[in-house]
Structure 1
């Protein structure tokens, strides 16, 4: 994760650690508040949007974990922008054109990130459909646990059996993903 925030910090955020929350406010809130003020909002709106974004992050992380492949800062900013645009739509306000153009310049990165998040969501959804054994095996595989340890942990007779089982689980996961209608939109 290309960010000042790591997995340990996300765990602390989930736990409600005030130090992490203050760090997030110090590092991220000024940019978000500036954006919202430029788009017919005020500091109170910015606080509400920022809190809602953090709440969504915590809920998502608790529900099925979260993997952020771009920077955490851009992730939170994008969530806040989307929440604010929804709020503006509800209020029937318009976003200033120059800010929209500024965002359009960053669109490639944001769109790429959103697609990556949607791909990860699809992966997580289908991963949960695998058997408990397959999920545990693939987690070890994705965490680069050596096959000799996997053999012992799962009581396989040898590394070849472990390799074949990993292959079958990966194929099952790939088949589940490819069978989903969303898959074609995300490739």
Structure 2
């Protein structure tokens, strides 16, 4: 049994001792991220709790495997959940009160779906050429075409645009070729 499944089993079995260790070792990272991105202590607590619940529910339903460390996976789930919360808050219309109808089961299902999509994306990114991987990472980090051109010594920004286009298509092909893709298109 790997450490990852050990922690996941502890979540599913509600092992308070191990869950306390998970909190002690990981909460501060999630809290730091949330607070640096427009959140409060309570938001971080909610996100961390949702992340643990999401992971437990998913692991109970399908014994998934975490390919990197449990800590990195948990942090990624927390980041994705917080970004999702920030995006949802952009679309809320408020007068003097906030009205929010929440279906926790649907919210968890959507969060799990987003996490699975993220996993497929990152796994597919590892399959493309090293050059494409580097170019797309810079592109996704919003580096300008001019900066990418300088970094790779390309002749023009047009060449960079073409390269980004080809690399995105290559990544897209790997994503669509994966057997999980069809199941991740809708909830």
Structure 2-normalised TM-score? Answer: 0.49
- Greater gyration radius: 1
Q: Which has the higher helix share?
A: 1
